[in-house]
Structure 1
Amino acid sequence: MTKMNHKILLGAAITLASLQQASAVPFAPSDARSMGMGGTGVSSAEVASTVQFNPALLATTREDDHFGLKIPQFSLSVADDGGFIDEAEDFDEESELDTTGQGRTNVDLLSDLLDEATGPLGLEKMQQGIEELKAAQLLPNSAPIAKKTAYDNAATKLTQASEFLDTRLYSRNPSVNGEAGLVVYSGAIADDMDDLNNKALRINGGLNVAGAVPSKKFSMAVHAGAQVTFSGKVKIDPKDTDILRNYSAATSAYLLNIDALQLALTNLDENDSSTFDAVDTAQQAVDNFNYGGAGRPESEGNTAIFVDGELSPEAEDADLDSEIQMIGVAVADVGVTASRVFNIKGHDIAFGITPKLQKISIFDYTQELDSEEEFDSEDFSENQEDYSAFNIDLGAAYQFGAEKQWQAGLVIKNLIGDDYESAEYISSNGVGGAVVSISPMMRAGISHRTSWTKVAFDLDITENDPVAFEDPTQYAAIGGELNVWRIVQLRAGYRANLAGSDQDIMTAGIGISPGPVHLDIGVMANTSDIENEAGIALEFGVEF
């Protein structure tokens, strides 16, 4: 029996993961004004922000809007719906079982314990005793005294090793000795791994610059930006926790066979050949001992721990199958927006189009939990696949009311859908990796504004697939803005995910715009727990 390599488990506390599946890029512009108003913007975005939400809005801005510039917009949000961060921190924090005050984790405690158990006082000595016993069995019965002496020497080593292991690994009398470390530590680690399993973590980031010249007759804008989404989780293989939970029980059962062998050795009588036969029988029980795996009782687990008296390769080498994987999608685009108002049967309706060039980069990184390799940023570039594409956004907007104070908007982003395969998907011929979709997304909105206020409501018409492990999204959002003398803007909003649960967010924001210059900040947080999802957006620009 050799020491398990438990460094593998520490990696689970700080890593992310992914599975092969169809994924999509979310509708999440990096706009501070929008974030402050719940994420609305399809009918309410201002000047240079229109290129991200609805190109048609560029032709329906206020009469005194002549130019808009964003330099730049920036946003960052983290979604931890399943509590991955908390579980990872719990996994890597000081164990409640550590009585030394040295800040050791459960992994440290189990690793130290197995160092002792597999050392010269434990399994090494037991193996020596078994080898001496086998040598004693080869001695001729014509020398019973010498044979008995050899048996006694072997028995001494087995007794010492068994008592040591029984104390360190598994207490068969918990009422006297308390539950020993192998049971407690391995169970605690298995529970921690279960808590980490399938917990998704998502990070979104955006950066955008834009310049716009609005006009009802013909509006133009240019923009360049990038949106990055990372999503993942640790995928715990049931075999790994199966080993941890059954390791102690398997060792205890093995020691019971050693106990029977020791008893036979204790009863050995050099004048009674039947006692030698009893030792041989007990020795065969040790040699033939099996625990766990196919064909064994369900209570022993699905993974073989002992096979023919030896630790199985799975248990000895602890080659865990749990994986760390990540999917990252970065979409950078450069686009030109054109829009104007058309009179259709007496109604002024604005239409806009944004043709754009896109660079889609897919990062798909997988690493086993038991890998000794340190994570390096080059790992991402080695597992990166880049694509270039052409796409189009289309939008429409219609103002109505006595003072045109109402506005409805409709947008279709990424009209030309396509699938993009990750490097791992390509190299594995579709057995692993990910397929990321740039899919059409349709959103509608309606808003009302006065010289002091603005209220907006947006609704996703399409349900959008997740990038990896989180729920799909279909947002309904509402937000409002109070504009005080066009110098200070106070914003608030609410967004619900109709395709997921416990993912509603509250938002707030503030804008400061002395003259043509403006600075905007938006924040958002999950309504039930800020740790589930939180984000911030910053924006600096010029409008006049």
Structure 2
Amino acid sequence: MATQASAANTWAEARNDAMGGTGVAAANYGSAAFINPALLAKAQPEDDITVILPSVSAQITDKDNLRDEIDDINDRIDYYDDVVDNLTVRDILLNPVGTLDQFQGAATELADKLDYLRGKTASANAAAGVTVAIPNDVLSVAFIAKGYAHARVSTSIDSQDITYLRGIQNSETTALIEAGRGALLGSDEITRNLNSVAFGRVAIVSDYGVALAHQFDFGGVPVSFGVTPKIQKTWLYNYTASIYDYDTGDWNSSRYRKDDTGFNVDAGIAADFGQNWTVGLTGQNLVSRDLDTKSIEIRNGRTGEVTNYKDTYQISPIVTAGVAWHNDLVTVTADGDLTETKGFKSEGNSQFVGVGAEVRPLDWLAVRAGFRGDVKDNESNVFTAGVGFAPFNRVHLDLTGLVGEDETWGAGAQLSL
């Protein structure tokens, strides 16, 4: 999660992920508890208990290679410290040109890195889940356990860091003065002037619930209703550190972690119009919850001021409408969010639309493709594709992949019985 692994949804379902992340009107009854619990009631008489164990997905977007760049700046600051620690008054007096050249070169490299990192971010989502769906004419039931994670890496580059380093780079007099201070007082006296900060924010949300669904008849139109009450466990990480000490291995330290347990609920409705059309509406996380991260203090070495850094992760209702046309050979579907998808308050919201199709040329083979876009333009737009294999119509293996703008790549897999 230190890089970006982004999925638009709070669920992973390889078939529908391959169809542009759709599924509100097109999901199978076996995976309905992930997407729209009302579709759980759409099982056919010949359908049996379905077990998904597991479904997983991840998407990587990091066009600026931010994690490696932050790791690299640690190497640069180590080199800078070594240069300063090795400075001596004798070297400065006897070999001022060579000594200052090395010092100025180290300052230049570090300033260039900070310039590159200014304003860069990477964010991440991933999801996984298991479910057992039991169809029934009276009340269909599914047991569900799923989790999704959102992560974001960002930087706050202090412009005075760059000004300070450029001063050493461009002025031999400044370099001589700072080199002398470093030789007499050590590298700490120099690096206290560097106060840029890097942030690693992670939210991991796990749901454990029971989906219930039933189908009614309204004037000859089959209409299904479903609801999923669930326990929701959340872990929040606020890894905030000087960019010069940043270590992705420290993300999961309890020092930066805060957890919470609460209640939430999903609900959905689906209706069939004729033999080929289905429309659906689903609402996930209908109970809004704002959860604060731990507060992390960072002291500015230059001014002595202490800044408290914290964020708030927002779990809010996500309402999505969908429509699907289907027959024995083809399914074509589209979904659109009616509400925004929120995350940390420090980042922008998203609102997704998706279209997709599935063709089943053989009883045991399905081919899928789709597109998912963010109308708020805060997440990468992606093209999706996948295949499904179903030997003997008992074991189902679904695979999906995606590619999109900003160096976005992703994959997912699902095993169903």
Q: What TM-score, normalized to structure 2?
A: 0.86
C-alpha contact (below 8 Å) 2:198/2:240 kept by paired residues: yes
1:181 Cα deviation from its structure 2 partner: 4.5
Is 1:518 the equivalent of 2:396? Answer: yes
Q: Which one-letter code corresponds to 1:336 in the other structure? A: V
* Structure that is richer in strand per residue: 2
Measure the CA separation in 2 of the matches of 1:393 and 1:412: 6
Give the direction of change, closer, same or farther, for the CA distance of 1:90–1:314 in structure 2 (3 Å limit).
Answer: closer
Q: Identify the residue that residue 352 of structure 1 maps to in structure 2.
A: 226
Instruction: Assess if the C-alpha contact under 8 Å between 1:405 and 1:450 holds in 2.
Output: yes
2:27 matched residue in structure 1? 45
Letter aligned with residue 29 of structure 1? W
Query: CA separation of 1:466/1:62 partners in 2, compared to 1, >3 Å: closer, same or farther?
Result: same
Distance in 1, Cα, partners of 2:125 & 2:402: 13
Deviation of 1:418 (Å): 1.2
What is the CA–CA distance in structure 1 between the aligned matches of 2:402 and 2:65, rounded to whole Å? 18
Q: How far off is 1:112 after superposition?
A: 5.8
Shift of 1:106: 5.9
State the distance in 2 between where 1:391 and 1:326 align. Answer: 26
How is 1:191-210 mapped onto 2 (pairs within 5 angstroms)?
A: 191-210=112-131
2:133 maps to which of 183, 195, 212: 212
Q: 2:411 aligns with which of 517, 536, 539?
A: 536
The whole-number CA distance in structure 2 between the counterparts of 1:311 and 1:478 is 63
Match of 1:385 among 258, 262, 267: 258
- Note the 1:282-301 alignment, pairs <5 A: none
| TM-score of the two chains, using structure 1 as the length reference | 0.67
Cα shift readout 1:55-80 (whole Å, capped 9, x = no counterpart): 01111234432321101111222222
CA contact (8 A) 1:202 1:470 kept: no
Q: Distance in 2 between matches of 1:220 and 1:477?
A: 28
Report the residue type matching 1:537 in the other structure: G
Does the alignment pair 1:416 with 2:287?
yes
Contact 2:81 2:187 (8 Å CA) reproduced:
no
2:43 to 41, 61, 73: 61
Which structure has the higher relative contact order (CA within 8 Å, separation 6+)? Answer: 1
**For residues 259 and 265 of structure 2, what CA distance do their matches in structure 1 show?**
19
**Runs of 5+ consecutive residues of structure 1 not aligned to the other structure:** 1-13, 18-24, 93-104, 126-159, 170-179, 256-288, 292-304
Alignment counterpart, residue 151 of structure 2, candidates 212, 217, 230: 230
What is the DSSP-based 3-state SS (H/G/I as helix, E as strand, rest coil) of the residue aligned with 2:144?
Answer: strand
Structure 2 Cα separation of the partners of residues 110 and 368 of structure 1: 15
Residue type of the alignment partner of 1:337: A
Alpha-carbon spacing, 1:347–1:524, altered in 2? closer, same or farther (3 Å): same
Deviations 1:226-248 (A, max 9, x none): 21222122322222222111123
Q: 1:490 pairs with 343, 367, 370, which one?
A: 367
Tell me how many residue pairs correspond in the alignment: 406
Distance in 2 separating the partners of 1:317 and 1:474: 43
Note if 1:74 corresponds to 2:56.
yes
2:90 aligns with 121
Q: How many Å apart are 1:345 and its aligned residue?
A: 4.4
More helix by share: 1
Contact 1:319 1:370 in 2 (8 A): no
Q: Distance in 2 between matches of 1:16 and 1:221?
A: 33
Report the CA distance between 1:535 and its aligned residue. 1.5
Task: Name the counterpart of 1:472.
Answer: 349
CA distance in 2, matches of 1:65, 1:337: 17
Cα contact 1:26–1:466 (8 A) shared by 2? no
- Partner Cα distance (1:313, 1:111) in 2: 5
**Structure 2 vs 1, CA of residues 345 and 473 (structure 1 numbering), >3 Å: closer, same or farther?**
same
Structure-2 separation of matches of 1:354 and 1:426: 40
3-state DSSP class of the match of 1:245?
helix
For the pair shown, which has the larger CA radius of gyration, 1 or 2? Answer: 1
Q: Which amino acid aligns with 1:343?
A: D
Say if 1:472 and 1:500, in contact at 8 Å, map to a contact too: no
Using the TM superposition, name which of 229-238 and 447-456 deviates more. Answer: 229-238
How many angstroms does 1:324 deviate by? 2.8
- Identical aligned residues as a percent: 26
Q: Distance in 1 between matches of 2:248 and 2:62?
A: 22
Q: 1:234 to 1:65 in 2, by over 3 A?
A: same
State the match for 2:304 in structure 1.
none
